[in-house]
Structure 1
Amino acid sequence: MYDDDDLSVLDAELDLESPLDKMGDVSEAEVPKPNPDAMLALLDAPDNQQRMIAARAFCELEDERAIPYLITLLKDVCPLIRVSAAYALGRNPSPEAVEPLIIQLNQDWNGYVRKGIVWALGNCRDRRSLEPLILSLKTDISAVRLWAASALAQMSEVSYDAIISAIPPLIEALRQDPIAAVRSNCAWSIGQLCRELPSNVVYATAIDALIEAFAEDEEMGVREDAKLSMLKVGDPRGLQVIEQIEQEGLV
């Protein structure tokens, strides 16, 4: 669907980092937060640099007054402004932003922007985000797939139906994605979603996939993430398999 070359301007290591790791709260003791009124005034400034500074400020600030401006900036001609607006909408999630985010995800040529959008869609915790995130996990470049896998974990706060729908594509990616970091994030998300499920067929299938990844994945990091997910879920069968495999020294 997309060409991996559209991320050629990004640092290779940054491509594979999770947005959940990069978007933590900024300590007030480290950096004073910008003045929200001043930043609001710059969101529609004619100068690109001012708009970008303002959009980045709302990656830290939570102010619903900024949301309409940030939605508009998703269509800015400058990709740095678009990605800043996406991150800011992830920090200021709103039902009104979901459709504009989905539209931009479907048409933006820049992988960096799409990464920010999938993170924002996850934070919106909206049922409408489910299908676009699944499509990104299946078809986008590796860096975006990585973040889509993490974002799908947010379906745990949406609905039972959303959880049930998110698990099969995560299992598929856990088994088949060629990038180990993507598989690791799938294992983590499956664990998050399983914690909200009763013991049913979908739950059992998800645990089977985690057991399979723990026992068979070629990458140690993926095996460890699958193990940690099972430990957090506390599934008796998964815990028994972990103990058995470790005793036999098979991993």
Structure 2
Amino acid sequence: MAENIGDLIAQLSVEDDDQRDAAIDALVALGEAALDDLLLTVSEQDGLACAGAIDALGRIGDRRAVGTLIIALQETDHNIILAAMTALRRIGDPLAVPSLINFLSEDDLYLHFYATHTLSQINHPDTIEALLREIEREDVNVRHGCVVALGRLGTARAIPPLLELMNDDDERLRYSIAYALGDLAQDGDPSTIAALQQLAADNDENVRSAAAVSLQKIG
């Protein structure tokens, strides 16, 4: 393996997975010394080289990469978008939250899932505030993603807005709320127990099942 950063960057474009992975590992080991070259690669190249550079930046974890990674979210190549989401999740900077929330309206299940997962890993007050605002959007996909992310973040502040949504017409949203309440509620919380008991009598089997699981969690 060549130690020159330029040589390592060039190897990000090779088809051989093992060789490319070894180059990424070497660039990650170089850390800050490779940062500028990696940022330039993301900005100027596409395909394997761009995705590999994004992977390395996420593993290095330097917040100076966040702006470039946010821009990478605008690419049309799904592999690059997903790599950027993974990198942003690893870095955990809330600056990325507004751009990630935009993906919650996606009909593409992979993009929606990855955006939700990424948001649920950026445990910061700004993330929670943004999700609490966006949970009021008309787009049910956005609300669903916010509910899932808030449940995983474990903030009890999300309970009141979730209770307000529990009668929504969309069964997928009610299902997610039922699970989230089980993750958020403190043992024996009467308002949450009452809400889950109502959801346990829902006309949708999946909602009833999720509510039953959550009731067992909180006792």
Tell me if both proteins adopt one fold, taking TM over 0.5 as the criterion.
yes
Distance 1:39 1:226 in 2: 51
% identity of equivalent residues: 19
Once the two structures are superposed, the pairs formed by residues 1-251 of structure 1 within 5 Å of their partners are: 42-45=7-10, 48-49=13-14, 56-57=21-22, 58=24, 63=29, 64-65=31-32, 66-106=34-74, 108-138=75-105, 141-156=108-123, 158=124, 160-170=125-135, 172=137, 176-177=140-141, 183=144, 185-193=145-153, 195-197=154-156, 199=157, 203-209=159-165, 211-212=166-167, 216-219=169-172, 224-234=175-185, 236=189, 237-246=191-200, 248=201, 250=203, 251=208
SS in 2 for 1:109: coil
SS in 1 for 2:181: helix
Residues 112 and 204 (structure 1 numbering): CA distance in 2 closer, same or farther, change over 3 Å?
Answer: same
Aligned pair count reads 198
The answer as to whether partners of 1:118 and 1:147 remain within 8 angstroms in 2 is yes
SS in 1 for 2:45: coil
Give, in angstroms, the shift of residue 60 of structure 1: 10
The amino acid across from 1:218 in the alignment is E
Give, in angstroms, the shift of residue 51 of structure 1: 9.5
Give, in angstroms, the shift of residue 224 of structure 1: 4.7
Deviation string 1:83-115 (CA, Å, 9 cap, x unpaired) is 233233333321111011122223x22122112
Distance 2:147 2:116 in 1: 9
Distance 2:20 2:60 in 1: 11
The answer as to whether partners of 2:105 and 2:112 remain within 8 angstroms in 1 is yes
Distance 1:231 1:177 in 2: 21
The answer as to whether partners of 1:167 and 1:206 remain within 8 angstroms in 2 is no
Query: Structure 1-normalised TM-score?
Result: 0.61
Deviation string 1:106-148 (CA, Å, 9 cap, x unpaired) is 3x22122112212222322213212211223346854323211
Give, in angstroms, the shift of residue 208 of structure 1: 3.1
Distance 2:9 2:27 in 1: 17
Gaps of 5+ in 2: 209-219
Distance 1:71 1:115 in 2: 17
Deviation string 1:135-182 (CA, Å, 9 cap, x unpaired) is 2334685432321122122332x3x23311133325548x6129xxx9
The answer as to whether partners of 2:8 and 2:27 remain within 8 angstroms in 1 is no
SS in 2 for 1:75: helix
Residues 56 and 71 (structure 1 numbering): CA distance in 2 closer, same or farther, change over 3 Å?
Answer: farther
Gaps of 5+ in 1: 1-34
Deviation string 1:192-232 (CA, Å, 9 cap, x unpaired) is 33x235x4xx65113433x346xx5434xx65543222111
Q: Which residue in 2 is equivalent to 1:23? A: none
